[in-house]
Amino acid sequence: MTRPILELKGLRKAFGALVVTDDVTLDIGPSEFHAVIGPNGAGKTTLIGEITGELSIDAGSVTFAGEDIGHLPVHARALRGLTRSFQITQVLPGFSVLDNVATAVQAHSGSSFRFFRPVAAERALNDKAFAALEQVGLDARAASDAASLSHGEKRQLELAMALASEPKLLLLDEPMAGMGREETEGMVEVLLKLKGRYPIVLVEHDMHAVFRLADRISVLVYGRLIASGTPDSVRANPAVREAYLGAEEFA
């Protein structure tokens, strides 16, 4: 049996008397697309913070690629290939689209990182950056100023920057936030192309996107996992429907 790329066991995090994650146990397969959903305040962002090291855990363990990383800081986890997109990455509006991604490649590789040296001077960086842009469908905008991109294209750029770090696991925290229907559909198509190439954990409120993308879905409510399984089994779960107040997106 193939070992999970990520294993969470008994994770607990409290802020004073408020328990935000409560005995969360979960594993992510090496090529799995796993969505984590739940109402506002369910503890989803806290859980992502515990995985990345932005938040310490009060109890439990985080194992990544067979290594216990629960004691490691954010940068050490990132160097091991644990990559969080859309909150850690940041678009540089004064740079071209290609230079944004090349800078991310440079930061990951440790290659002569100098802000006053044009990134374009290093061909190897640009080659890797352009390959990442091709994966997200932004290669035609490589020479454009990043500030000129639409909101959806900036999300795609941030995803390209994450891919440039050669991730072993992608953590995507609400990548469709603020998008219209057309932009959301574009991001879904991008993620469908990445599905199976990288293990992905997606936190997202757009249920149409979640059910189209996910191999498995886990549901957090008040910090506890109330369900985890295939999209069909989660859709049919009475406890999940109750937690979402019978919302029509589960119909």
Give me the pLDDT at residue 246, please: 63
- Do residues 223 and 21 lie in contact, with contact meaning Cβ atoms separated by under 8 Å? yes
Inform me whether the pLDDT recorded for 11 exceeds 70: yes
Question: To the nearest whole percent, how much of the chain has pLDDT over 90?
Answer: 71
Q: Identify whether residues 10 and 76 lie together within a single domain.
A: yes
Q: Identify whether residues 134 and 69 lie together within a single domain.
A: no
pTM: 0.89
- Bridge-based pairing state of the strands 6-15 and 59-64: antiparallel
Residue 111 is encoded by which pair of tokens? 């290659």
Residue 130 is encoded by which pair of tokens? 């352009």
Q: Identify whether residues 178 and 250 lie together within a single domain.
A: yes
Element (H, E) at 97: helix 97-109
Of 132, 166, 200, the domain-final residue: 166
Residue 66, Cβ neighbours under 10 Å: how many? 9
**How much is the mean pLDDT over the chain?**
89
Q: Identify whether residues 251 and 172 lie together within a single domain.
A: yes
pLDDT in tens, 106-146: 877 765 445 445 555 567 788 899 999 999 999 999 999 99
Q: Identify whether residues 191 and 228 lie together within a single domain.
A: yes
Residues of the domain holding 150: 89-166
Mean pLDDT confidence for 49-56: 95
Of 107, 136, 166, the domain-final residue: 166
Question: To the nearest whole percent, how much of the chain has pLDDT over 70?
Answer: 89
Structure-token match 């590789």, residue found? 109
Per-residue pLDDT band for 85 (boundaries 50, 70, 90) equals confident
Give me the pLDDT at residue 88, please: 42
Mean pLDDT confidence for 224-234: 95
Q: Identify whether residues 177 and 53 lie together within a single domain.
A: yes
Inform me whether the pLDDT recorded for 91 exceeds 90: no
How many domains does the chain fold into? Answer: 2
Alpha carbons 71 and 88: distance in angstroms, whole number = 20
Residue 1 is encoded by which pair of tokens? 């049996």
Sheet holding 6-15, edge to edge: 18-28, 6-15, 59-64, 67-68
We report the CATH number of the domain holding residue 227 as 3.40.50.300
Per-residue pLDDT band for 77 (boundaries 50, 70, 90) equals very high
pLDDT in tens, 176-225: 988 889 999 999 999 999 999 999 999 999 999 999 999 999 999 999 99
Q: Identify whether residues 142 and 69 lie together within a single domain.
A: no
Q: Identify whether residues 72 and 98 lie together within a single domain.
A: no
- Do residues 103 and 115 lie in contact, with contact meaning Cβ atoms separated by under 8 Å? no
Q: Identify whether residues 26 and 142 lie together within a single domain.
A: no
Give me the pLDDT at residue 110, please: 60
Give me the pLDDT at residue 94, please: 86
Q: Identify whether residues 68 and 185 lie together within a single domain.
A: yes
Q: Identify whether residues 246 and 137 lie together within a single domain.
A: no
Of 133, 166, 199, the domain-final residue: 166
Q: Identify whether residues 179 and 161 lie together within a single domain.
A: no
